Chain A
Amino acid sequence: MSKFIFKPYEEMTPEDYATIGFKSGLEVHQQLLTEKKLFCNCPAGHYQDKYNAEILRHMRPTLSELGEYDGTALMEFKTKKDIIYRINYDTVCTYEMDDTPPFQINEQALDIALEVGMLFNGYIVDELHIARKQYLDGSIPTGFQRTAITAVGGHIPYKDRTINLIQMSIEEDSCRETSDIGHKRIYKTDRLGMPLIETVTYPEMKTPDEVAEVNNILRELVRSTGKVRTGIGAGRQDVNVSVEGGTRIEIKGVPNIKRIPLLCYNEAMRQWNLLRLREELHARGINGETFNANYTDVTKLLRKTAYQPIHNAIIQGMKVNCVLLKGWNGLMNWQTQTDTYFSKEISDRVRVIACLTTLPNIIHSDRWSETIAAADWKNLRKVMNATKDDALIIVWGADDDAEMGAKEIIIRAKEATIGIPSETRQAHWDGTNGFERILPGPERMYPDTDLPPKPISDERKNRIRSQMPERIWDRTKRYLEIGVPSDIVRDLRISKLANLFDKVVNELNISPKFASVALIQFPKRLKKMRLSTIALTEEVYFNIFKLITDNKISHASVFPIMKKIAETGIFSEEYIINLKKEEELIKVIERTKLIFKDMKINKAEKRDDLFICFLMNELRGTADGSLIAKLAKEILNAEDK
């Protein structure tokens, strides 16, 4: 193993990442824009915090199709959580609550998934097999997610190479977690069952920045269909990271692509440092065989401690266990991530597996100050038969939890002598990550016996292929060639108005530059003015452009018309007539101004007022006074600048 020592984030170079053998792949989740959910007829995308009722369930592990128990499944069962679902009658029916078998798959969602599979150049499967992917954390009331492969393989261009895809699936979305305290986890169910696609890449990204860039391409490609949801939570990704000699670790549910590089960096560092920790342990003569640890109930010994968390626990009749790790002195402070140490690996496991969710949930002898008294530590060493080379970790909680906690501490410490355990980890806001659960394997897949396999006909594939949008990298090239400003290309290529853009350019002969500005920049400008663009439908846009082609308005009138529509919510011929009037008025004002310029004025500061009076006299009866005043002021202001 290389002697490489991790540098601060900003100083890491691609060569550094090559040295540690950094590899990363993505699992990109994207909600589809459908009216209904995937396997029932509930409305999709109606989020609600209000709930009518609660349902309580527990999850038990079951066997896989090939007859094996999944490791994660057994671990989750150890944790024994009460899972509570909050349901709202409007967004959830008996299907999501696992009291009714699934209905036939949502065909609209399946079409979108197949289309995206084609965009990715994947092999579209001939027959869809709906599988059950086990999740025992309770995030889905059935205990599994219904999911099916729609495409296998595929690739996208990236820099001077291609990034290959493993597969793409269509699946139902899970619940949103509300809280997870002690033995009780609460979920909101409104998102549950919404159609989602998941795209999985091979681990072909070589630096954290590449991961984010590839993610952006994948995200834009699906958005370019105009058939996926946007907004918070509509797109989420799992990032798989490994280093040379490390393990594939999945960082789950990263909502924001910008955060990916730092998360990748910290995970790479964690794995690298855990590998170095293993070297250190081996150097101390501690390996899988020689690893030595035990634990004892020390509740009595600590019954007089002043350290609040333990003091309170004992008062409540809880139990305190002390774990001895032979030869581990100092290693709880071994750095794993930025400002994060091995003790966090231990604490995380105790939190998740033993349900000891109130922090701190452990204290240890490598950072003994501000915990129990020095004399207590000394007594503990004596009772535990510990030397100065050993480490002590204290965990407290209800009887079963304190037992589970002590056992789990030993399990996690022993794993450090072997390597990096396969885990899924959750992203934290500071860019570090924490343990979520043991990484599930393919054993957790099980065929869905409620729904038969579904053939996908060639006719269906051909129909979708014929309506498929141009791929974004092809679009980008073409837009630049026809003169779309490069800062607009980025937005236009994933815009829902991309088809309309081509239509007005081709059918109405509008210049690509102007059409793209009007379709991308103008709505942004309106939104900045806090105006809604809902009334600006494709049809309305088309009609506006047609006015230009028919010489009824000038290019300059497009934005004012859009603004008027945004303000009133409707499109009316009157706007054009009024605009026409305004245009004429402006011409008269400009002309009058030239005449006025040559007139002698005594009081210079009254010049503008006099000009408006003069105008009023000239134009009386032909137009509304206030409009004349407004236009005149605009012209005078423009002159001042």
Chain B
Amino acid sequence: MSEIMNEAEAYKGYRGITLEVLKKFNALVWSEIDVETIDGSKYSGLILPRSETADANHIVIKMATGYNIGVRAEKVASIVVNGRKVAHYKIPEKAFPYDKGKPRVKLFGTGGTIASRLDYRTGAVIPAFSPGELYGSVPELADYCNLETEKLYGVFSENMGPEQYIGTAKAIAKEIEQGVEGIVIGHGTDTMHHTAAILSFMIQNSPVPIVMVGSQRSSDRPSSDAALNLIHSVKTAAESNLAEIMVCMFGPTSDMYGLLHRGTRVRKMHSSYRSTFRTLGDIPLAMVDKNKITPLRQDYKKRRTDKEFKILPYFEEKVGIVYYYPNMQPDMINSMVDNGYRGIVIAGTGLGHVNKPLYPALKYAQDKGVAVYMTVQTLWGYVQMYVYDTGRDMMELGVVPTANMLPEVAYMKLCWALGQTDNLEEVKRIMLTPVAGEITEREPSNGYLIYQGGIPEVEEFISKFRK
């Protein structure tokens, strides 16, 4: 067994014909070689490990100029091994300086690319961090706090789930008990708003800021937003008066300031932009840059010195979210009911609608005691089921409107509510009682702003302010 492991390590990522050829010439990964092919090409360099997702036909060579190329294994005539040079990828580590005048901030790692390194097997970046490594790459962090780190998980954000939510909530609780002055959670960006939502329900009345942060451009690139996001989030955790669960990410695409979004009103809105996170149906809590935190509103929960917070780490996994589309067949809902789902959140059209043929399915769900909640796929605006008859019909069938809760937030809240009780009335009470701003009584008109490019006044604004 160990022999196989060693071979896997010695010829990392190579298989099939490439492995045969390398073994034939005893050319291990990290060997410095001269290779000649049957058509007379000659290359010199270092054999690199092969990514597991790449094909099995090419040997990767790093040349003296730093460039990599691939040589087709079946064309290799000879390999001469001249030496060996193993790479040691390490972020330079420097002890994070301690300053007794600075607040203690805890950074939890769950994954994501806040700090990362290259994974040769996949050719992708994998997360890695310690206070020393972070200080080595973002020394500015020491200006704000005494930083401690703890790696909770090493997963990509799409792999975050109930176990991680509960574990993170408990880890946060423990830190608050121990008197931490602020918490930062490094997280992949794809599902950051899901985690922000569930943590907003699981940790209530926190006395300190809890800031979720990630990066849209991994920290292995000079233009990465990781360092600045990290600086913004650490500053917020250390110094701000905002004792809420927040997402801290770029405001504009420019390196200017971050926005602090309330954890229940935030959503990732672009697949790759830096300024992808937006507060929907409301305005963000504050702006943050290296030097200052500027609240945009006053109704946030203030920092306290007590430890009177609540931890409610509940989660029911049998809950689903259904994105309604015209022509949806009833069996979509029926199959969920038949598969034992206890809760369904529907993202309906317009004010919260589905078509009539679905009604029997909704009836079936109601009869089986499944909790069904309505949100809007327009993302902005309230569910209004009284406006049309169809809405009223649906309410008869047990569908509960969730005001202006975002679909993902309603989903997380329903998981959390059903995790606490089987009593549907109680679930309804929990769902409709705002805990952390997930339902607001009113929507200010600047809570819905999607600028349309091309319009003269918008263009004037853009050319005046770097966005």
Q: Are A126 and B92 in contact (CB under 8 A)?
A: no
Size class of the A contact interface (CB-based, 8 Å) = 35 or more
Q: CA separation between A171 and B51, bound complex, in Å?
A: 23
Q: Which of B196-204, B216-224, B319-327 contacts A (4 or more CB under 8 A)?
A: B216-224
Those of A39-87 within 8 Å (CB) of chain B: 51-67, 69, 73, 84
User: What are 7 inter-chain pairs, A to B, with CB distance below 8 A?
Assistant: A53-B462, A54-B463, A66-B88, A67-B88, A84-B466, A148-B67, A167-B63
Contact between B67 and A143, CB atoms less than 8 A apart: no
Q: Would you call B342 an interface residue if the criterion is a C-beta within 8 Å of the partner chain's C-beta atoms? A: no
Query: Is the CB of A169 closer than 8 A to any CB of chain B?
Result: yes
Instruction: Answer yes or no: B423 CB below 8 A from chain A CBs.
Output: no
Contacts of B12 in A (CB 8 A): none
B366 CB to nearest chain A CB (Å): 45
Q: Which residue of A lies closest to B274 (CB)?
A: A99
Docked-complex contact A455 and B55, CB < 8 angstroms: yes
Residues of chain B with a CB closer than 8 A to A94's CB: 272-273
Q: If the complex has contacts A127-B58, A127-B71, A132-B221, are A65 and B87 also in contact, measured as CB distance less than 8 A?
A: yes
The interface-forming segment of A174-182, A428-436, A440-448, A582-590 is: A440-448
Q: Secondary structure at chain B's binding surface: helix, strand, loop or mixed?
A: loop
The answer to whether residues A67 and B87 also contact, given A52-B462, A55-B466, A152-B63 and a CB cut-off of 8 A, is yes
- Which residues on B sit within 8 Å (CB–CB) of A152? 41-43, 63, 69
**Residues of the B chain whose Cβ atoms lie less than 8 Å from the Cβ of A89:** 453
**CA of A177 to CA of B255 in the docked complex: distance in angstroms?**
19
In the complex, the chain B residue whose C-beta lies closest to that of A452 is: B54
Which of chain B's residues have a CB closer than 8 A to the CB of A468? none
Is the Cβ of A57 less than 8 Å from the Cβ of B118? no
Which single residue of chain B is at the shortest CB-CB distance from A76?
A: B222
Whether the pair A153, B272 counts as a contact (CB closer than 8 A) is no
- Asked if residues A447 and B123 are in contact (CB atoms below 8 Å), the reply is yes
Task: Give Cα A442–Cα B57 distance, bound, in whole angstroms.
Answer: 26
Q: Nearest-CB distance from A152 to chain B (Å)? A: 6
In the bound complex, CA of A99 to CA of B40 (Å):
42
The reply on B294 being an interface residue by CB < 8 A is no
Is B124 an interface position by the 8 A CB rule? yes
Q: A residues near B, CB below 8 A?
A: 51-67, 69, 73, 84, 89, 94, 97-101, 123-129, 131-134, 136, 141-144, 147-149, 152-153, 166-167, 169, 200, 441-447, 449, 452-453, 455
Q: Which of B424-467 contact A (CB under 8 A)?
A: 453, 459, 462-463, 466-467
Q: Which residues of B contact A133 (CB under 8 A)?
A: 66
Neighbouring B residues of A449 by C-beta, 8 Å: 118, 123-125, 218, 220
Q: In this assembly, does B363 line the interface, its C-beta being within 8 Å of a C-beta of chain A? A: no
> How distant is A163 from chain B, measured CB to nearest CB, in Å?
18
Q: How far is the CA of A11 from the CA of B460 in the complex (A)?
A: 60
Contact A61 to B222, CB < 8 A, known contacts A53-B463, A126-B71: yes
Do A62 and B463 form a contact, CB below 8 Å, given A56-B256, A101-B272, A123-B43? no
Q: Which B residues are CB-close (under 8 A) to A53?
A: 462-463, 466-467
Q: Given known contacts A53-B463, A453-B70, what 17 new A-B pairs fall within 8 Å (CB)?
A: A53-B462, A57-B223, A63-B220, A65-B89, A73-B222, A84-B466, A94-B272, A99-B272, A101-B272, A134-B222, A142-B221, A143-B224, A152-B69, A167-B67, A442-B65, A452-B54, A453-B54
User: In this assembly, does B79 line the interface, its C-beta being within 8 Å of a C-beta of chain A?
Assistant: no
Give the chain A neighbours of B253 by CB distance below 8 A. Answer: 55, 97, 99
Q: Closest CB-CB distance, B117 to chain A, in whole Å?
A: 7
Cross-chain contact A126 with B224 (CB below 8 angstroms): no
Partner of B89, one of A66, A134, A455: A66
Q: Is the CB of A129 within 8 A of B68?
A: yes
Contact A452 B462 (CB under 8 A): no
What is the CA–CA distance of A89 and B216 in the complex, to the nearest angstrom?
22
- Select from chain A the residue with minimum beta-carbon distance to B70: A127
Which A residue's beta carbon lies closest to that of B138?
A: A60
